[in-house]
Amino acid sequence: MTHVAVIGGGIMGAGIARSLADAGHRVVVVEPYLPVEIDGVTVTRDLNSVLPDADLVIEAVTEQMSVKTPVWTRMGELTRPDAILSSNTSVFDIDAMAGLVQAPDRVLGMHWFNPAQLVPCVEVIRGSTTSDGVVIAVQELLSGAGKLPVVVRNSPGFVANRIQFALVREALLCYEEGLATAGDIDTIVSNSFGLRLAVLGPLANADLGGLDTYQSILQFLSSTLGERFAVPEVLKRLVADGRLGVKSGDGVSEYTPDRIAQLIHYRNARLERVISAVKDTP
């Protein structure tokens, strides 16, 4: 059992605390403002009494560095030198936070997704000084809590939000241009490629669709809608090298005939279950 301190008892902090408490860890939430009640989780206003004994600290305060900075300073002052320090930030620089504490090799990002107690994936963001042992320890803790930890490099927005916010931005532009109502835009996404993305990610879907086709579509979109649809250099190189996806045996990934058959069977079977589940939802 790990003693976990979650700083911030809002929507994300409460969900994180619930997930780790359900996995058998001792969890204390530090929340000075909101009336927070979580079954099996201690809630306190006193940061000073919690941090010295914590094995793992998860900062989950408001997404403003002006708020996070003093919290991280206190984390550095009050925790044991071997305690793992993490942030649930979805965009900010992990190295900037590591620079606020002693022993920055114990610092990493731990980006959960709302609702934290339900969504399986957690981005584990490795800073430039994060030690291998800290990454492994966090991966094991998350896996033990039924989560799917994925290690990514430190970069603005990391991976999930770079992709997610590119989608949201384009959806807002479609709405602004009057192409469809907000409800219809959401319906299109959630009942078309959104269903496929719940089964396979965008790169596997691109390999299945054909990278040459994707390049052609992006070329047309960039010629009509601008540079935000410019063809990435990596896609140009793959197509130029004849790596077109499953139809050529390799693309972003490599494929044998057996692997292709397995992938298509997996996609179709999972997609049927996803569609059935969505239809059954009231």
pLDDT in tens, 183-223: 999 999 999 999 999 999 999 999 999 999 999 999 999 99
- Predicted model pTM: 0.91
According to DSSP, the residues that pair with 250 across neighbouring strands are 245, 254
Name all domains of the chain by residue range, CATH numbers in brackets: 3-153 (3.40.50.720), 191-280 (1.10.1040.10)
Pairs from 99-107 (Cβ < 8 Å, separation ≥ 24): 100/69, 100/72, 100/73, 100/75, 100/76, 101/72, 101/73, 101/75, 101/76, 102/76, 104/129, 105/129, 105/130, 105/131, 105/134, 106/81, 106/82, 106/130, 106/131, 106/134, 107/134
Map tokens 């996995």 to a residue.
23
Q: For residue 33, name the pLDDT band (cuts at 50, 70, 90).
A: confident
Half-sphere exposure of 7 (CA within 13 A, CB side): 29
Q: Which amino acid is at 154?
A: N
User: In the chain, what is the straight-line distance between the N-terminal and C-terminal CA atoms, in Å?
Assistant: 39
Q: Is the pLDDT of residue 279 over 90?
A: no
Q: Are strands 107-111 and 121-126 parallel, antiparallel or unpaired?
A: antiparallel
According to DSSP, the residues that pair with 5 across neighbouring strands are 28, 57
Locate all alpha helices (DSSP H) within 65-201, ordered by sequence: 65-78, 94-98, 132-144, 160-176, 182-190, 193-197
Q: Is the pLDDT of residue 282 over 80?
A: no
Q: Collapsing DSSP states into helix, strand and coil, what is residue 220?
A: helix
Give the model's pLDDT for residue 18: 94
- What tokens does 65 get? 């560095």
